[in-house]
Structure 1
């Protein structure tokens, strides 16, 4: 068997692994002979894998095979909500906030306008007031997951998620506002990255990925002289740092990453993985949780991660899901020590996914 090492940025669905991919502790992350899919590549990106070894033919060309179906495309479990006037009002206010935020940031970047954080909070609060409670807010956001979002939409999403997160950890109002603004401004540096790279439908090259990684430094430079809380600036700089030192731009470890940046990093990755991208459909929240449970506790603050997922996944109890064998059932109860594998009722049968390893949740319907 012939093989070739390539950068992860060059990987595409259909390639076959020639060697096991190991995590930092030496455990197999993805086994040899696995055919790559979009979701496997996303998983490797999440785990900061830089290169991999794939099969090549006798002429030295990388071989590709038919791509296995990771899962049936996710259907919104809230399709009925999309038809309500309540959702129409939420969507109107949400996109109004995104439009204002876009125009406002362009003015800040290109005309060096001052930051009026009070007005920005007014717009985010207007969206929050449209929601009856935190669970309802996630319902509304999940209704919009099939629309390919841009940097501005992503920033508003992360700001709202941070606000909910802050309520879950019982931050006082002033701190809650700062955390919300951390989410709103965390990706401001991406606005200075060429859109041809940000919206590229294919996997980025190594050079393109290195350009994207500069957005944390650019974001900090744009904010450092503004009269705003220092944590907003450090969140822009540090939200891609990881506790095990595998992040960027400075490979900081657990003792150096500011707390609000730790929270933003979780909200940022969750929103990115559960949102539609030009190169893939949104991932099911349970798929995202499974990735976090397998690998996230070395990279993200466990204290924040546990609170985030325990609180958020309570919102999915009593929802209907599709399992990997095509059957449909209702989530009856969460497993505290394995949130990605709840107890599901299928007909008269109760299936504990933490014990039945052959099944998994593929979609919320």
Structure 2
């Protein structure tokens, strides 16, 4: 059956030939473009000039076709470059594990050059959700956290060398896991209390690996403190928020988000909406509330238009997140029914199908 769906796009994701799903009104309440307008390069540039951030685009689809859509050219490029970068990091981490020597030049090149295209890719949070991962969570996670540090760092106003240092901090935050026994690092089940104590040593062991390399203090503190928490409940030293470096606070937020939304040897990934719920739960006592607020307010544009699987088996499109981002948004199912998940507690999002 042929049907029409509407998907919201960030303006820098809009391509010539796309068709507006509704009339467009500018912030000063002036009519801009009518429903059904086919966008051209000139019109897209005009929208940018008017300060339009997102637009609704009309798509005609065959609902009988349940095959997942092919990856876009951007997603293919991100996936290929991403896996190459993971391979480089894996070789470097193996050098560190066996020789306890950090190839700092290679790490700097990854942070300054190889990761920059991902950080600059429109919709990178969505693209990371569809990248195929093989194994070795630590390597993928380190790349993800570095990229997210670059994205979130810009949202927070970091620029230049300071932003590059923040990306490097994300890349190296788990470098101490190279000094954790593989039988613990790759254990498919829950760690015992004794094994967890050994795992927690990765923060201090990582710091010890880099402390004589002349790295900025901000990077070293991020490695040491990214599991510290505002209320003093973290590790390794249990310092309160006032004594935690700002870089460590940024890494803490994106570390949690990526850990929840990634497959691990002992658990399957959860949805970004579950990650949002976790951040909202901890943002006033364990995590920096300002960083969490900036993160949550900016990721809303990535979630609008996502096609998700509901717990009752229905597919639905995320259409509204509210003034404050919610882990339980308003969705529209295949029959056009709007469902406010905040008021429908017996339903939940269990998987993101398409971004």
Report how far residue 105 of structure 1 moved.
3.9
The aligned residue for residue 104 of structure 2 is: 115
Distance 1:202 1:175 in 2: 39
Report how far residue 267 of structure 1 moved.
0.9
The aligned residue for residue 352 of structure 1 is: 340
Task: Flag structure 2 segments of 5+ consecutive residues without an equivalent.
Answer: 1-65
Distance 1:268 1:78 in 2: 32
**Which of the numbers 326, 351, 354 marks the counterpart of 1:363?**
351
The aligned residue for residue 69 of structure 2 is: 80
Distance 1:140 1:204 in 2: 31
The aligned residue for residue 166 of structure 2 is: 179
The aligned residue for residue 317 of structure 2 is: 330
Query: How many equivalent pairs are there?
Result: 284
Distance 1:206 1:337 in 2: 38
The aligned residue for residue 23 of structure 1 is: none
Aligned partner of residue 99 in structure 1, secondary structure: helix
Describe the superposition over 1:16-55 as per-residue Cα deviations: whole angstroms up to 9, x where unpaired: xxxxxxxxxxxxxxxxxxxxxxxxxxxxxxxxxxxxxxxx
Report how far residue 339 of structure 1 moved.
1.6
Distance 2:192 2:96 in 1: 30
The aligned residue for residue 285 of structure 1 is: 272
**Which of the numbers 216, 219, 224 marks the counterpart of 2:211?**
224
Distance 2:184 2:214 in 1: 31
Aligned partner of residue 345 in structure 1, secondary structure: strand
8 Å contact 1:310–1:339 — kept in the other structure? no
Change in Cα spacing, 1:111 to 1:298, as seen in structure 2 (3 Å) is closer
Describe the superposition over 1:254-304 as per-residue Cα deviations: whole angstroms up to 9, x where unpaired: 111111100001111111111111122111111121222234431111111
8 Å contact 1:213–1:248 — kept in the other structure? yes
The aligned residue for residue 84 of structure 2 is: 96
**Which of the numbers 165, 174, 186 marks the counterpart of 2:152?**
165
Report how far residue 212 of structure 1 moved.
0.2
Distance 1:195 1:111 in 2: 15
> What RMSD over aligned residues (CA atoms) do the two structures have, in Å?
2.3
Distance 2:104 2:242 in 1: 30
Distance 2:205 2:327 in 1: 36
Change in Cα spacing, 1:230 to 1:237, as seen in structure 2 (3 Å) is same
Change in Cα spacing, 1:231 to 1:85, as seen in structure 2 (3 Å) is same
* Greater RCO structure (CA 8 Å; 6+ sep): 1
The aligned residue for residue 202 of structure 1 is: 189
Change in Cα spacing, 1:305 to 1:149, as seen in structure 2 (3 Å) is farther
Aligned residue runs from structure 1 range 131-170, under 5 A: 131=121, 133=122, 135=123, 137-144=124-131, 147-170=134-157
Distance 1:252 1:295 in 2: 17
Report how far residue 79 of structure 1 moved.
4.5
**Which of the numbers 205, 211, 234 marks the counterpart of 2:198?**
211
Task: Flag structure 1 segments of 5+ consecutive residues without an equivalent.
Answer: 1-76
8 Å contact 1:81–1:87 — kept in the other structure? no
Describe the superposition over 1:185-226 as per-residue Cα deviations: whole angstroms up to 9, x where unpaired: 000000010111111011111111100000000000011111
Give the TM-score taking structure 1 as reference length. 0.72
Distance 2:142 2:291 in 1: 20
